[in-house]
Amino acid sequence: MAEQAKVPAIRFAGFTDPWEQRKLGEVATIVGGGTPSTNNDAYWDGDIDWYSPAELGEQVYAERSARRITQAGYDSCSATLLPAGKTILFTSRAGIGNTAILRRSACTNQGFQSLVVNDDTDVYFVYSMTDRIKKFAERKASGSTFLEISGKGLAAGEFAFPSKDEQTAIGSMFKQLDFLITLHQRK
């Protein structure tokens, strides 16, 4: 049983259950990426979305990657097909902590440690925590050429989590705020 965490001072009506400290590895599977050989044309220009860290910016959702790989390319490397709607792409090096929620199943290169949230965890709630997750990852990152956080290192991060229903309420609020911000930016 995870230890209890502090309860926020402001909460949605009807929620009184304590929040629990949980490791990211308990609420999500951390998945790294891979890259097919760039010297083999048969691996590229296929139907499988394949993200690199440079593609993530200010957008909430990852809709379509700049480059795509073939099934042969996918089979040739350590990339994993990540499920849509449950995955938060998380850059693990050269700009740690850039994120987006995956809208279509896709895979990534090795510059990611993506979070595939469990069924009892709200994806948008975890997405709303990305600033805290990024700060943790930056503190724990290591490396001589460039800083990087491993999947194991990211999975060890502990954060406060409410019940799934409260996560969904909080996630829905942030989703609506992000939608409104995007709408105003378009104007």
The string of pLDDT tens digits covering residues 95-114 is 899 999 999 999 999 999 99
Structural domains of the chain ordered from first start: 21-186 (3.90.220.20)
Residue 49 and residue 74 in contact, taking contact as beta carbons nearer than 8 Å: no
The string of pLDDT tens digits covering residues 14-55 is 888 889 999 999 999 999 999 999 999 999 999 999 999 999
Six token digits for residue 22: 């949980």
How much of the chain is helix, strand and coil, in % rounded to 5?
Answer: 30, 25, 40
DSSP state of 82: B
DSSP state of 152: H
End-to-end CA distance of the chain: 48
pLDDT of residue 65: 97
